[in-house]
A = this chain, B = another copy of it.
Amino acid sequence: MSQNVDVAIIGAGTAGLTAFRHVRKMTSQVVVINANHYGTTCARVGCMPSKVLIEVAKTFSRKQHFADFGIDGSEQLTINRTQVMKYVRRLRDRFVGRVMQGVDKIGDKNIKGHARFVEPQVLEVNGERIHAHKIIIATGSRPIVPPEWRNLGNKLITSDELFELEQLPDSIAVIGLGVIGSEIGQALARLGVKVVGIDLLPTVGGISDPIINKVAIGGLSKDFEVWLETKAQLSEAPEGGIKVETDHGKSTTVEMVLASLGRRPNFDNLGLEEVFNLDFSNGFKDLVNPNTMQLGDFPVFVAGDVNSIRPILHEAADDGTIAGINAVQDSVKAFKRRVPLRIAFTEPQIVVVGASFAELQGEDIIIGERNFVMQGRTKVMARSYGHLRVYADRQSGCLLGSEMMVPEGEYLGHFLALAIENKMTVQDVLVTPFYHPTIMEGLDDALKAIAAQQTGALKEPVLRSHH
């Protein structure tokens, strides 16, 4: 048995479904091949359930201010962690349900099974050959678990299992303090779980600016213990639980370990090595063009988390759009990617937008900064902690990037991305309104701090002339 199609898409997550939508506009000769879960990582085990957990944790942690505010009875409040997890799953199931409506649209174009490359334009699925003019790989990723930890059984979990827990543990070690580890570690701590967070690196939440990193470590440390620049050894404790020992001589025993060490692309069983004469030891990272999604010069496109380029939902969707458009065209078109934006939904939020501090090393930049300990609106909200650094090009005055840990920083991130994408100068932004009392005024201050360091023609008054 064999069939011929214009496009075969392997994977039915955000990237695959988005690609399908674009391909379907141009041809009905398309199939989607998917083996396991349909729908996205985001709705099932990623952004959505974690955001619900974070919202509950954030709401519960507000009780520390109730007595001050004049709200009596906060000492009576307790957290029912079984009920929290039920609530998280109830909302999660609704989000997944909505994604599945998108999956249903695949209809009879859907093939359930594992795909394996036989030739660059031939796949084998369930013993059947599929000849495809173009192929899109969108098989996603899965959490990394070091092999030596597998013997810990269900005491070792990843974000794939976390939201399935009926009952949260009383104590947990979170290994890896990137975005996911920082978010989940803080949320669990606020729900009364004793948390220790451990990372090999000296940085948390994907921050590269040392000043913001220090503030972020301080922020996270209010809720849980943070051990950095150290490697964790795990073993079963004789008294039960898992013993965590670091190479710096610290140790603790916890009920459970959450491995949040990043994610690994799902391409192990696609048979790529045999068909394509490429070195896949670093995944697709340097093999795929991020502006076309094309794999080398092959009629193959690689979209979404599997390419390890920008494993964030809106980027996975763009990957799918680009792959989908290019899979149905004779010549491959290059698209400009969006300004980078990464958000950790910790409290305060960690945001990296545009060029990071690390990427700007050696460039002639001006930095404007603002601390949020004494900022009007954060005082009003009883959320006064954080720090913002904004980077601008000294010659042009153009905004380049920013790193921050700031309350509601997600919005500052979007605002700065809009400015950076449109090549705006500090002055272009300073002439827009900053309302009082808002957290945006803190950004205004940071931009004014840049303007104060500018010279020559850029040093113009904050208000524009009227023409």
Contact = CB atoms under 8 A, between A and B. Distances in A.
A37 interface: no
Contacts of A73: 73, 76-78
A274 to B, nearest CB: 32
A431 B337 CA distance: 8
Interface string A48-84: 1001100110011010011011111110111111111
Given A79-B71, A318-B463, A55 B380 contact: yes
- The interface centre, meaning the residue of A381, A382, A432 with most chain B CB atoms within 10 A of its CB, is A432
Given A47-B436, A68-B87, A411-B411, A335 B418 contact: no
Nearest to A383: B55
A193 B377 CA distance: 25
Q: Which of A48, A74, A466 gathers most chain B CB within 10 Å?
A: A466
B376 A48 contact: yes
B47 A335 contact: no
Interface stretch (A170-178, A249-257, A296-304, A422-430): A422-430
A365 interface: no
Interface residues on A, range: 35 or more
A373 to B, nearest CB: 13
The 6 lowest CB-CB distance pairs between A and B, nearest first, are A70-B83, A70-B84, A411-B411, A334-B466, A76-B76, A73-B76
28 contacts: A47-B436, A47-B437, A48-B380, A48-B437, A55-B382, A56-B70, A59-B71, A68-B87, A69-B83, A70-B81, A70-B86, A71-B80, A72-B77, A72-B79, A73-B78, A95-B376, A313-B436, A314-B435, A335-B466, A336-B465, A340-B433, A411-B415, A411-B440, A414-B415, A414-B435, A414-B438, A421-B428, A422-B432
